[in-house]
């Protein structure tokens, strides 16, 4: 048995490295994917909840790995859709992350350091001092805790929490790969934003990063003198930062977002707006204006709404696009610039159970040295071990810990795995201190899933509930249809048909299945009917009208151009579209739901009304078909 202090956290392993460790311990490699599904997709709290793993493997995991090295200390609810998570690390340090919920997305604001060494004059995080960088797995565990709190998977991630990501960029990159990985959180690369004060070398590294992540640069001033007063530790001259951001745009084609905190009487006048406009004129730029969130003990004040609007309109008159970002989380001190200095003053929720019971490391004991990198000790310890009696084979027929308890609750568990309902445990209820999960109905018949409750309210005659359903789902439905058929006009009409059918069935609706699954099923059936009727395979457009859509942006007047790069991206997109158009319709449906929408095998099976094995077969055939069709293009160097 490995001592608690020597155990490695599960989040420190990639899927491949976890499979290697399991294989050396005498277990089969495919178990790594099952463990990852339980951890990242269902966000379980204990090893025993992994119901389709044999008892021998569960014992080995408990003895050799930590399900989490950190613990969720407290959750502060601001009441406006924002929740601040206080996370206690293994060495007793505390970091904060923020969940921000809106109609069509769930965004997680991640911290990259414990504190911040840059000490911006107006920021609470820097005022609290700096302790150390976070390891990649400690960043990943923030997303796991967020999943447990929200009851669903995060859709967007921004590195705008505590710390300067560029001072810990290697760990940020490693965590970003995990956030994007198909076996983990499956957050699209363009839905991940790295924010920085503007170190040119770091911005160049972000531009070269294989994943197409978004970049946000914190300016807060339009000239060097004022910026140095507000951000004394700015890593470069403001002109060098802007030039690096322009290089990022030319290399990636992705527009840069500039963050600008408005401080009353400091940088919020029309003259300041004109200076900023001259700095950014002729560049592809979008400015996020943030009215200052006041911090106790600091002299800066929040500007009036009139001053904010005057600044925005003056900046827009110079030709620079700008948007005033809504501040959320202020009551819980979770808004921009407020992290760490205080505990939240909003409504505090009791700390959920996190990590295996009796795990001293999850409570901050047995702390690693500051700055310690991801431990590989558990992996090293397993080398040379004898397979534990071929634990997996010997445990066949045994009941895994916790399985009898699940069966007593009336839920199916076993080798085919999992509980009833699409992605069981994500959107379900939490009952009791352990947060037991189920479908949309709890054991006493109460509806726990918010979207399902909306549909039930609408079925009872509440029309405003239906309006909210449409608002929550219309973007996703349009995106799915557009990906299938590549026709935006028909996609809009078809999306209306989806909600029309939902409206017609309101009287017969029963909440046995989740509303999201029902909507995906209607959408998939409509698209399949269109494909069959049209008798032509123009179905998957990679460029469609959504904010995270790939785009080829034209440079602004007076800006240097790199037309060849844009044309190369267009040609690659054309080649991939042509290959996708040749895939049979049902394979294409499964591929879009899995790869672009991030649905699990079980969700796809329910949406397409087939079993999980058929879904896997469709996806395998789709991948093989794509590989065959793209092989010649790859050999010719076109991709």
Give the residue numbers marked as catalytic: 96, 336
Quick check: 479 and 188 in contact, CB under 8 A?
no
Any idea of the CA torsion for 530, 531, 534, 537, to the nearest 10 degrees? 150
User: How wide is the angle at C-alpha 540 spanned by C-alphas 539 and 545, nearest 5°?
Assistant: 115
> What is the residue-wise DSSP string for 139-200?
HHHHHHHHHHHHSS---EEEE-SSS-GGGGHHHHHHHHHHHH-TTTT---GGGEEEEES--H
d(CA 292, CA 610) in angstroms, rounded, equals 52
Quick check: 133 and 116 in contact, CB under 8 A?
no
d(CA 629, CA 578) in angstroms, rounded, equals 9
What residues contact 122, with CB distance under 8 A and at least 6 apart? Answer: 230, 261, 263, 292, 295, 298, 300, 337
- The backbone torsions φ and ψ at residue 110, rounded to the nearest 5 degrees and listed phi first, read -100, 145
d(CA 418, CA 424) in angstroms, rounded, equals 7
Which neighbouring-strand residues pair with 66?
A: 9
Cβ-in-10-Å burial (0-12, 13-18, 19+) of 439 comes to: buried
d(CA 46, CA 39) in angstroms, rounded, equals 9
Residues in the chain: 639
C-alpha torsion sign, points 82, 83, 89, 92: positive
Question: CA separation (Å) from 483 to 488, 490, 494, 570, 588?
Answer: 9, 12, 13, 17, 10
Which neighbouring-strand residues pair with 8?
A: 65
Distance from chain centroid for Cα 476: 16
**Collapsing DSSP states into helix, strand and coil, what is residue 541?**
coil
Question: CA separation (Å) from 406 to 355, 400, 420, 437?
Answer: 19, 10, 11, 10
Quick check: 71 and 355 in contact, CB under 8 A?
yes
> What is the residue-wise DSSP string for 439-463?
SSB-TTS-B--HHHHHHHHHHTT-H
């Amino acid at each position: 048995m490995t001592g608690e202090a020597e155990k490695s956290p599960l989040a420190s392993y990639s899927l491949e490295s976890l499979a290697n460790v399991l294989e050396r311990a005498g277990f089969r490699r495919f178990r790594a994917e099952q463990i990852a599904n339980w951890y990242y997709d269902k966000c379980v709290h204990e090893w025993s909840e992994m119901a389709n793993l044999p008892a021998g493997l569960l014992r080995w995991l408990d003895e050799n790995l930590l399900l989490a090295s950190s613990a969720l200390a407290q959750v502060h609810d601001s009441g406006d859709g924002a929740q601040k998570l206080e996370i206690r690390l293994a060495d007793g340090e505390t970091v904060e992350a923020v969940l921000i919920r809106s109609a069509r997305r769930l965004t997680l604001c991640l911290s990259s350091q414990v504190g911040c060494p840059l000490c911006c004059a107006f920021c609470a995080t820097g005022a609290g001092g700096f302790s150390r960088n976070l390891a990649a797995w400690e960043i990943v565990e923030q997303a796991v805790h967020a999943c447990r709190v929200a009851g669903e998977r995060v859709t967007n991630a921004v590195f705008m929490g505590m710390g300067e990501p560029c001072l810990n960029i290697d760990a940020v990159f490693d965590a970003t790969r995990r956030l994007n990985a198909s076996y983990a959180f499956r957050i699209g690369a363009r839905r991940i934003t790295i924010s920085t004060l503007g170190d040119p070398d770091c911005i160049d590294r972000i531009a070269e990063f294989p994943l197409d992540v978004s970049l946000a640069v914190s300016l807060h001033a339009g000239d060097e003198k004022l910026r140095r007063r507000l951000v004394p530790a700015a890593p470069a001259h403001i002109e060098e930062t802007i030039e690096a951001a322009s290089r990022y745009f030319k290399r990636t084609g992705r527009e840069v977002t500039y963050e600008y905190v408005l401080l009353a009487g400091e940088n919020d006048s029309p003259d300041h707006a004109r200076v900023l406009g001259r700095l950014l004129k002729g560049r592809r730029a979008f400015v996020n204006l943030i009215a200052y969130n006041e911090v106790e003990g600091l002299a800066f004040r929040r500007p009036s709404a009139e001053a904010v609007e005057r600044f925005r309109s003056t900046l827009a008159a110079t030709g620079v696009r700008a948007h005033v970002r809504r501040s959320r989380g202020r009551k819980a001190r979770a808004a921009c610039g407020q992290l760490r200095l205080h505990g939240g003053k909003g409504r505090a929720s009791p700390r959920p159970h996190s990590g295996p019971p009796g795990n001293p490391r999850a409570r901050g004991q047995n702390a690693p040295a500051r700055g310690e990198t991801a431990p590989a000790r558990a992996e090293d310890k397993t080398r040379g071990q004898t397979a534990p009696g071929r634990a997996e084979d010997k445990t066949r027929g045994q009941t895994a810990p916790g399985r009898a308890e699940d069966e007593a609750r009336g839920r199916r568990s076993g080798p085919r795995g999992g509980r009833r309902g699409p992605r069981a445990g994500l959107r379900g209820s939490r009952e009791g201190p352990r947060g037991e999960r189920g479908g949309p109905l709890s054991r006493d018949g109460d509806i726990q899933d918010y979207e399902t409750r909306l549909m039930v309210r609408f079925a009872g005659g509440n029309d405003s509930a239906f309006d909210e359903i449409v608002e929550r789902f219309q973007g996703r439905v349009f995106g799915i249809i557009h990906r299938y058929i590549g026709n935006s006009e028909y996609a809009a009409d078809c999306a209306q048909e989806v909600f029309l059918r939902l409206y017609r069935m309101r009287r017969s609706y029963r909440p046995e299945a989740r509303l999201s699954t029902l909507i995906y099923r209607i959408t998939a059936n409509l698209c399949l009917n269109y494909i069959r009727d049209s008798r032509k395979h123009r179905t998957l457009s990679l460029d469609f009208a959504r904010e995270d859509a790939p785009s080829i942006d034209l440079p602004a007047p007076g800006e240097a151009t790199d037309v060849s790069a844009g044309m190369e991206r267009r040609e690659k997109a054309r080649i991939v579209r042509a290959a996708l158009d040749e895939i049979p319709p049902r394979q294409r449906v499964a591929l879009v739901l899995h790869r672009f929408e991030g649905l699990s095998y079980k969700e796809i099976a329910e949406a397409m009304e087939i079993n999980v094995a058929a879904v896997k077969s469709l996806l395998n055939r789709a991948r093989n078909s794509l590989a065959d069709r793209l092989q010649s293009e790859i050999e010719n160097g076109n991709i």
